[in-house]
């Protein structure tokens, strides 16, 4: 029992608030009921376990399709299994807010003020654009464009996944600076990616063979059609886009080059779960 209790102990942020994440499980609530949830994905497999501990109800979904969305499906099942509970919680909430304070939606931003790139982490971007007078997104979880629907104010949702919200805020120089992505089980924030002056960038600095002793592998970086590309064994060639001076990325492949006496001497690689894998230039 102590192990179970410890597993549910939530981590705290510097301001004392809960991070929503405990020891390998996410502690949150769904429609007013406490939830303990976690999921996983690998290649074409997707899974999630959603528990309502106070109601002693659990939902488990296992999928062998990469386009499956067990997170949303688990919520949909809970809506059926706990329908009466959710109604009861909703009535209690209504009772407590008989005389709600009048609130006003803040200024609604235009699509032009919202569009652009927001950086989740170096090399991982949310890319927003306008298509057919609607907001379009390419996110880190999908290279296929997703059309977003405005719900209210500056909040948008995916048409096929209404539980995922995209909230824009902090207008500066006519552009929003902050993106909050919110789901029942997690919340993350991203800042608008600033435009970088790449006029001094010389792609020829980065070409060569780079070797990692740890994995006994060589990555070949070369120029083709004016772009920096990398060849890894028999894998397909990846085109690398500059994230900044000395940093490049392509999907899950992110490299930060290191210099010795001004010359490129190697790079640190981040790829998926791999971080800080060191390569030296031959």
Structural domains of the chain, count: 3
Chain centroid to Cα 184, Å, comes to 14
What is the model's pLDDT at position 267?
Answer: 97
DSSP state of 206: G
Angle in degrees, 0-180, between the axes of helices 70-81 and 83-96, rounded to the nearest 10: 80
User: What pTM was computed for the model?
Assistant: 0.58
Does residue 58 sit in the same domain as residue 84?
A: yes
Q: Which of 29, 62, 96 is the last residue of a domain?
A: 96
Q: Which of 163, 192, 221 is the last residue of a domain?
A: 192
- Where residue 195 falls among pLDDT bands split at 50, 70, 90? confident
Position 278 pLDDT exceeds 80: yes
Does residue 135 sit in the same domain as residue 74?
A: no
Separation between Cα atoms, residue 119 and residue 178, nearest integer Å? 10
Does residue 121 sit in the same domain as residue 54?
A: no
77-98 pLDDT, tens digit per residue, is 999 999 998 888 877 766 665 5
Helix, strand, or coil (residue 248): strand
Position 140 pLDDT exceeds 80: no
225-256 pLDDT, tens digit per residue, is 999 999 998 888 999 988 888 999 887 789 99
CATH no. for residue 268? 2.40.128.50
What is the model's pLDDT at position 101?
Answer: 52
Q: Which of 192, 216, 238 is the last residue of a domain?
A: 192
Domain membership of residue 213 as a residue range: 203-281
Separation between Cα atoms, residue 85 and residue 34, nearest integer Å? 12
> How far is residue 17 from each of residues 12, 34, 254, measured CA to CA in Å?
6, 17, 32
CATH no. for residue 133? 2.40.128
> How far is residue 66 from each of residues 62, 143, 160, measured CA to CA in Å?
11, 13, 15
21-72 pLDDT, tens digit per residue, is 777 788 888 888 888 888 888 778 889 999 999 999 999 999 998 778 888 8
Separation between Cα atoms, residue 268 and residue 260, nearest integer Å? 14
């Amino acid at each position: 029992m102590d192990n179970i209790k410890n597993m549910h102990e939530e981590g705290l942020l510097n301001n004392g608030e809960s991070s929503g994440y405990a020891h390998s499980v996410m502690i949150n609530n769904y429609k007013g009921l406490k939830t303990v949830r976690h999921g996983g994905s690998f290649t074409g497999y997707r899974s999630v376990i959603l528990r309502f501990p106070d109601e002693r109800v659990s939902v488990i979904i296992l999928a062998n399709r990469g386009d499956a969305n067990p997170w949303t499906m688990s919520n949909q099942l809970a809506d059926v299994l706990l329908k009466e509970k959710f109604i009861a919680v909703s009535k209690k909430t209504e009772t407590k807010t008989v005389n709600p304070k009048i609130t006003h939606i803040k200024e609604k931003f235009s699509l032009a003020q919202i569009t652009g790139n927001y950086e989740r982490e170096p090399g991982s971007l949310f890319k927003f654009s306008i298509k057919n007078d609607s907001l379009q997104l390419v996110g880190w979880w999908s290279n296929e464009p997703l059309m977003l629907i405005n719900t209210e104010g500056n909040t948008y949702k995916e048409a096929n996944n209404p539980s995922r919200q995209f909230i824009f805020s902090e207008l500066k120089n006519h552009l929003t600076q902050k993106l909050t992505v919110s789901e029942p089980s997690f919340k993350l924030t991203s800042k608008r990616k600033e435009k970088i002056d790449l006029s001094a960038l010389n792609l020829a600095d980065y070409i060569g063979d780079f070797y990692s002793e740890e994995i006994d592998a060589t990555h070949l970086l070369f120029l083709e059609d004016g772009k920096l590309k990398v060849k890894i064994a028999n894998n397909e060639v990846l085109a690398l886009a500059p994230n900044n001076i000395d940093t490049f990325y392509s999907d899950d492949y992110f490299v930060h080059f290191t210099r010795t006496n001004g010359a490129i001497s190697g790079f640190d690689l981040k790829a998926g779960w791999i971080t800080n894998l060191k390569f030296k230039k031959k």
